[in-house]
Amino acid sequence: MKKLLFSQQSNQRHWVGDGFPVRSIFTYNDLAKDISPFLLMDYAGPAVFPPSKHIRGVGEHPHRGFETVTIVYSGEVEHRDSSGGGGLIKPGDVQWMTAASGLVHEEKHGREFAEKGGAFEMVQLWVNLPRKDKMANPRYQGLKNENIPKVALAGGAGYARVIAGDFNGNKGPGSTFTPINLWDIRLNSGHQAEFKVPAGHTTAIFVLSGRVTVDSGETIQEAELAVLDREGDSFTLKAVDDAKILFLGGEPIDEPIVGYGPFVMNSMGEIKQAFIDFEAGRMGTIGNIEGTES
């Protein structure tokens, strides 16, 4: 069984644009080597937005050298980017955007959600790319809820949705550059489930709501990330309450990580080049989604 290395949480919220009240659970400045290939996790919400004619969100900004993965639990997020990718993701949907060689994108609330208002909750991950793929062409994957396998856990313990990777022989639709498992798990109060993962992969669980205990008996609270060791190939979670959990694990990318703002590369020279390319317009541009102030 895998052992708990450490856990951490953040109760400090900040706004990304005017649409995303975010807690940064980890960044590439602290845990990138511990849970490679993952670079960053922002947890937005839970929050309730009033109806508005103004479409909240964050405007055009660049990325290079990694991917963003946005998982929507409630509300809507609409994405557009300078490579032509984009779409509307609703509860249960996932957006997997590969910035790679560079693009400019914007993320807004969906128009219908903005007009009606309501509950909003999402997680955004940044996923590193290996050196050989950092300058690949950008791409966009809009993964719809109905295309994400939902697998029942033994003994009525709950279920796991397989966003990427493999869970008990069920493969997720997310296409990745390196081996990654990303599972959206629900665990019913008083039940437990054992999870098999590849030995040597990084292993982390994030509890969005409820509480769970790990093999060694520690309790992981709401909005807390638990990082397990790379030894062994299984771990067990037991739900103290009904729990909503995001599992993230993958094959580590053992290469230098140099990040500055929206760019993550392997050297400072590559970071400087990213800024030069962005300022020269080589990452493209997009127009703004129209909307009026409320």
> Virtual CA dihedral for 228, 266, 61, 17, nearest 10 degrees?
30
pTM of the model: 0.94
Question: Residue 158 contacts by C-beta under 8 Å, 6 or more apart in sequence?
Answer: 152, 185, 186, 187, 188, 191, 193, 239
pLDDT digit string (tens) for the chain, length 294 residues: 899 999 999 888 999 999 999 999 999 998 888 899 999 999 999 999 999 999 999 999 999 999 999 999 999 999 999 999 999 999 999 999 999 999 999 999 999 999 999 999 999 999 999 999 999 999 999 999 999 999 999 999 999 999 999 999 999 999 999 999 999 999 999 999 999 999 999 999 999 999 999 998 999 999 999 999 999 999 999 999 999 999 999 999 999 999 999 999 999 999 999 999 999 999 998 864 333 333
